[in-house]
Amino acid sequence: MRIRELTLSWFRGAAAEATLPTSDKSMVVFGPNGAGKTSFVDGIEFLLNKGKIDHLSHEYARRLDDAVVNTHAPATATRRVALKTDDGSEVAASIAPGGAPRFSGEEVVAGWSKRRVVLRQDEVSEFVHQSKGDKYSALLPLIGLGPLETVAANVRALAKRFKEEAKLDRLAAELDRMKEDWGRAFPGMDRAAVGEAIKELHLNYLPGETMPGSIGSALAALRPVLEARVAGLTKEHAQHLHITTAHEAGLSECVAEAVLASEKAAALAQPLLEERLAVLKSASAFGSKIQDDDTIACPACGSSVLAADFNAHVAAESARLESATTAFEVRRAAFSRLANAVATAKSALGRPDMDAWRSAPQQVPIAAALAVLAASDADRLREGMPPEDLAQLRDAVLAISRHLADCVRAVPPSVEALVRDQKSIEAASSHPTMRAHTERIGKIRQMMEFLADAEAQVRAEIKDRTEAVIASITTDMQRMWGILHPAEPIDQVRLYQAEDAEKAIDIALRFHGKEQLSPRLTLSEGHRNSLGLCVFFALAKKDGRDLPLVLDDVVTSFDREHRTFVADLLLQEFATTQVLLFTHDHDWYVELRRRLPGKQWGFKVLLPWSDPAAGIRWDPAPYGLGAARALLDSNPTSAANTARSVMDVRMPVIAEQLEIPVPYIKGARNDLRGAKELLDRFQGRVGKHFRKKDAKGNHVPSDEPAVLAKAVTDWLATYGNRGSHGAYLTRPEAERLIVACEQFLSALECPDCGSALWQVTEGDGACRRCDCGALLWKLGH
Amino acid sequence: MTQAAEEPLADAPADAADWVDNRISVAMSERAIPADAVSALKEAMRGQMADRTMPAGELQKIARVLLFSIENAK
């Protein structure tokens, strides 16, 4: 499918209307910086990406008026992007003032992934610069594995959510507490011994009663008896019971553990962050420091260290991270135990029958500490606590703990025994709950293992499929790299999945015979961008669907030679694909105009953008001189300079195509001929080489191009030199120069068929003819 | 070239859902996961999981269904 027409109305840099017609051909669009090229690319992305333009989205969120609409769009104006395809279908988006876009015909571009269709300069370099993980994220949707990655991410999120919903941490903490109580009540005893202990309690508290047939029945009989005994205690005894319960909660041990674990975790976290940052900075400098003998110049001290030592450093960092993870686990467990202890003590000391004890003069020293305990929230405590809050709780808990220890010493022996027995009954009674918790936790963990396994299986599948896709595009990548970099000692470029990470893809290559696992280590910016292009093009080829490719200034970092190879690549690999190529590089535009076949390619030039009301405008004048004309009113001197630079680019192409010989100049100046020198030599060749059909159909000599070339030469000498040497030109002077240039270039263009002698690519080797044959230029001497 | 590489990339979304569905069925037979939980998970995966990152509210609903199913499993 091809793009037939793209129309912007008050979108980005466009005013009322800016249309890019393609006639279903590929297009090269030249425009100086800010002319509006990217507005067209943004328009396409807006339609393909459901109203989102990635490189702007973080700036505007949903406020489309602030970003994608022309800043001076009239309130009532239609703001719209529309794209017509070669079958006459149209997809469009209208943006109401302050509102969300309304789309129509979205099905026309269904399946046109933005990442597959559009490539921008910053994305090419960004891709190669990205981490392995980011490359993975960028590539997966392109190779059709985005949905599986989404599944994996959703399963992981579901597992986390499930764990929260099941309250696994809380259940596990409760089970731990019950096990601890059991251990204290029945130290080292098996179930049979516990049963005997319960029977003994039954005999003690219910003498003469028949021993029930089961431990559960015995416990059921014992509980009310003990509760009645406790209820029958004097007020003082009951208080002692609660004090003992609070004391045995182990507040001071738990808080000490939590403080220690917290400090250890905090001590690990801060330097860890700082050192991780340092490692990242070092790693970024790594690429430029590697040397031929497998050593690395240390980014910090400059000394040379073995690459193996660097790897050891990385391994040590990994161990450090694992240690930090363990420390945080220990901290979590310590806080959980502290929360249990606080809950027990708070419950025991906060009972209504403890009111008198709390307000007694003996408790005045710990009144503030009791208030802290009463205000504490066990559930929040389980999640951790800031250091200053923990310090406050620690002080309170330690004060209460010391005070309780003194109080407990005064507990009457009869109460102490009753408390112990009641705790044994409670611990034994918790057995069914412990069993239920254990069973429930087992089920929860099994489900979590199932989800983890499901995610692992999805990821394994992604890995397998990615490997297969990588293998299948490697041949294309390497062939394209060969076109862009013929006979260079960098080869075997390929994507690979890194083994040391779950989600990681990088680019490997052979650099002067040596394997490199990252292009960042050895390649220049331009070569890296070449790699990015090869990956994008190879994926487009792999996709196999006949979708357009939209390339926005993707060769900015390429030198002239490699830009030429990009044209070769497009001709060889994408001859039947529609390519919309936007560039600000005038030299390259001229080269492409000469090299790319007119039957498949169209060419358009944008005028410099002047103001929001004028918007994006096409150059109505041929040869790019419209840019010079556009400056006539505002800056005549600049207009003349622009005309001169246009001629400086055009004339070498004309001289090369029409085989106008120039004497060799030693050094770089040989390739830097000015328009004036070439125009002088052109004039001398016209009489012998230029022919034009007369009314009778005969090719006759004409000196018109020579006369017009002389006019350009004269005006360049008069005005062009002045303009480029600091003097000012008037509007009529600059216009005179521009008109002379236009007339000269027109003289080489056929008025009937419209083709220019220096742009035709076909000929018999002896001459160049326009498409209808009316104009002719004899080649050779 | 493997089977996966020959599959048309454009069919990936539906393919992903089918693939996950199939794998969960296999996992169900290999583990003692209640049938209700597996059905809920499959339904969620088929309908949404391959299309987009699911919001917390939807994940919570599925998590609750899974929890209910394991709590009530015989």
User: Does residue A761 surpass a pLDDT of 50?
Assistant: yes
Q: What per-residue confidence (pLDDT) applies to B7? A: 36
CB distance B31–A144 less than 8 Å? no
Q: Considering only residues 2 to 31 of chain B, which have any Cβ-Cβ distance to chain A shorter than 8 Å?
A: 2, 4-5, 8-13, 15-17, 19-20, 23-24, 27, 31
User: Does residue A438 surpass a pLDDT of 90?
Assistant: yes
Beta bridge partners of A701: A691
pLDDT by residue (tens digit) across A338-373? 888 888 889 889 888 888 888 888 888 899 999 999
User: Does residue B12 surpass a pLDDT of 50?
Assistant: no
Tell me, yes or no, if B40 comes closer than 8 A to chain A by beta carbon: no
CA-nearest of A746, A753, A745 to A771 is: A753
Within A557-612, strands assigned E span 579-583, 601-605
pLDDT category at B13 given cuts 50, 70, 90 is very low
Q: What per-residue confidence (pLDDT) applies to B6? A: 34
User: Does residue A385 surpass a pLDDT of 70?
Assistant: yes
Highest mean pLDDT among A77-81, A382-386, B8-12 belongs to: A77-81
* Contact between A537 and A142 (Cβ < 8 Å): no
Spatial CB neighbours of A709, under 8 Å, sequence gap ≥ 6: A679, A682, A683, A686, A744
Q: What per-residue confidence (pLDDT) applies to B11? A: 38
Highest mean pLDDT among A126-140, A179-193, A616-630 belongs to: A179-193
- CA end-to-end span of chain A, whole Å? 47
pLDDT by residue (tens digit) across A458-484? 888 888 888 888 888 899 999 999 999
Q: What per-residue confidence (pLDDT) applies to A539? A: 85
Phi/psi zone of residue A436: left (φ > 0), alpha (ψ -120 to 50 degrees), beta?
alpha
Angle (CA) A511-A567-A650 rounded to 5° is 125
User: Does residue A626 surpass a pLDDT of 60?
Assistant: yes
- In this complex, the residue of A148, A161, A461 whose CB is nearest that of residue B59 is A161
Q: What per-residue confidence (pLDDT) applies to A480? A: 93
3-state secondary structure B32-60: CCCHHHHHHHHHHHHHHHCCCCCCHHHHH
Contacts of B47 in chain A (CB under 8 A): none
Which DSSP letter does residue A584 get? -
Q: What are phi and psi of A80, to 5 degrees?
A: -155, 150
CB distance A145–B12 less than 8 Å? yes
Average pLDDT across chain A, whole number: 83
* Contact between A335 and A327 (Cβ < 8 Å): no
pLDDT > 90 in chain A, percent: 18
Q: How far is CA A259 from CA A338, A339, A372, A386, A583, in A?
A: 10, 13, 17, 11, 63
More confident position, A637 or A671: A637
Mutate to test the interface with A, among B9, B25, B60 (most CBs of A within 10 A): B9
CB distance B5–A471 less than 8 Å? yes
Q: How far apart are CA A134 and CA A128, in angstroms?
A: 10
Q: How far apart are CA A65 and CA A70, in angstroms?
A: 8
Q: How far apart are CA B52 and CA A563, in angstroms?
A: 39
pLDDT by residue (tens digit) across A48-83? 988 888 878 776 666 766 778 888 888 888 889 999
Q: How far is CA A657 from CA A162, A254, A632, in A?
A: 72, 89, 31
pLDDT by residue (tens digit) across A285-341? 554 455 445 556 545 445 555 665 665 665 666 666 677 777 777 888 888 888 888
- How close A221 gets to chain B, by Cα (Å)? 31
Q: What per-residue confidence (pLDDT) applies to A707? A: 93
Q: What is the mean pLDDT of the segment spanning A574-595?
A: 88
User: Does residue A283 surpass a pLDDT of 70?
Assistant: no
Helix %, strand %, coil % of chain A (to 5): 60, 10, 30
Q: What per-residue confidence (pLDDT) applies to A288? A: 43
- In this complex, the residue of B2, B33, B50 whose CB is nearest that of residue A147 is B50
For residue A145, give the chain B residue with the closest CA.
B12
* Contact between A48 and A40 (Cβ < 8 Å): no
Q: How far apart are CA A46 and CA A29, in angstroms?
A: 19
pLDDT category at A175 given cuts 50, 70, 90 is very high
More confident position, A618 or A98: A618
Q: What per-residue confidence (pLDDT) applies to A20? A: 94
* Contact between A60 and A68 (Cβ < 8 Å): yes
User: Does residue A272 surpass a pLDDT of 80?
Assistant: no
Q: What per-residue confidence (pLDDT) applies to A517? A: 83
Alpha-carbon dihedral A330, A332, A333, A337, rounded to 10 degrees? 130
| Six token digits for residue A513 | 């015979």
- In this complex, the residue of A146, A447, A542 whose CB is nearest that of residue B33 is A447
pLDDT by residue (tens digit) across A141-173? 777 777 788 888 888 898 999 999 999 988 998
User: Does residue A26 surpass a pLDDT of 80?
Assistant: yes
Q: What is the mean pLDDT of the segment spanning B50-64?
A: 80
Please count the residue pairs, one from chain A and one from chain B, whose beta carbons lie less than 8 angstroms apart.
Answer: 116
Q: What is the mean pLDDT of the segment spanning A511-538?
A: 84
Q: Calculate the CA A358 to chain-centre distance.
A: 59
Q: What per-residue confidence (pLDDT) applies to B8? A: 35
CB distance B27–A457 less than 8 Å? yes
- In this complex, the residue of B49, B59, B64 whose CB is nearest that of residue A151 is B49
